Amino acid sequence: MKIAWIGTGIMGKSMAAHLLSAGHMLTVFSRTKEKASDLLARGARWVGSPKEASVEAEIVCSMVGYPADVEEVFLGTNGALHGMRPKTLYIDFTTSSPGLAMKIFEEAVKKNIAALDAPVSGGDTGARAARLSIMVGGELSAFERALPLFGRLGKTIVHQGGPGSGQHAKMVNQIMIAGTMMGMCEGLLYAKKTGLNPENVFSSVNAGVAASWSLANLYPRILKGDFAPGFYVEHFVKDLRIALDEAGKMKLVLPGLALAEKLYARLKSGGEGRLGTQALIMELERMNA
């Protein structure tokens, strides 16, 4: 199958690589060609714009950073929409706004193009292992058409409903992660303050009801002083702000989410936005210094 892939960041590059391994013909666009070098060495073809990447594609996929990036790569002057043919399929894996997902769907329909919003969860490790959770919004017929591709990238693939539903489901995911990260980092600070061995504490709590993906994967990184990004702080701030905006529209008061956004925003404003989300511990340590 001819697939266009737009965006080769931490997760996008691994996801695109799985499609190459499956034998698909991949045309790649990224703002920095060097980031696609591994894919190009394996046979992918690089082009100079999303529009050019999409001309011959049966499916166009994007995995970029921000809603503004999504809008540019699909609806912009050189966006994929202007290169795609009728009856092709667009899948956006970016965590973006539900409203933008609806806008993309509506614009795609005008050209007889199917569109799915399909944000993912699982971080860098899930992307590398093709074990992502994929939350999909859009028409059921388009979802069923995309299932073979989704199966190359993830293990949990759920159609959440109509356009924008995938993004709403991802907001639920990010709200829950924000609370989990707060609890994990505060628990670690408590353990250290009482003089407990944090590794021994990890062995106990990770085997009990406090167990979580964040605890299993990020707590050990914190103990090693490893703040390399599996998911950037600055992207998490973007996600939490989208969630707060959507909650506000529904008149939902979510104080835990608001506090997490405030603390992560401090990290970003302090020049630590390109660290991984486990860097929250650094902000909490400064508060307790």
Structural domain boundaries in the chain:
2-162, 168-287
State both tokens at 39. 């894919």
State both tokens at 223. 């103990």
- Condensed to tens digits (0 to 9), the pLDDT of residues 167-226 reads 999 999 999 999 999 999 999 999 999 999 999 999 999 999 999 999 999 999 999 999
Q: Which residues are catalytic?
A: 170
Question: Helix or strand or coil: residue 83?
Answer: coil
State how far the Cα of 243 lies from the Cα of 261, in Å rounded to an integer: 10
Query: Is residue 27 pLDDT above 90, yes or no?
Result: yes
- Condensed to tens digits (0 to 9), the pLDDT of residues 116-163 reads 999 999 988 999 999 999 999 999 999 999 999 999 999 999 999 999
State how far the Cα of 148 lies from the Cα of 217, in Å rounded to an integer: 28
Query: pTM of the entire structure?
Result: 0.94
- Condensed to tens digits (0 to 9), the pLDDT of residues 227-280 reads 999 899 999 999 999 999 999 999 999 999 999 999 999 999 999 999 999 999
Do the two domains 2-162 and 168-287 of this chain adopt the same fold? no
Q: Choose among 76, 119, 80: nearest CA to 97.
A: 119
The DSSP secondary-structure symbol of 81 reads G
Assigned superfamily of 2-162: NAD(P)-binding Rossmann-like Domain (3.40.50.720)
The top-level CATH class assigned to 168-287 is: mainly alpha
Query: Is residue 289 pLDDT above 90, yes or no?
Result: no
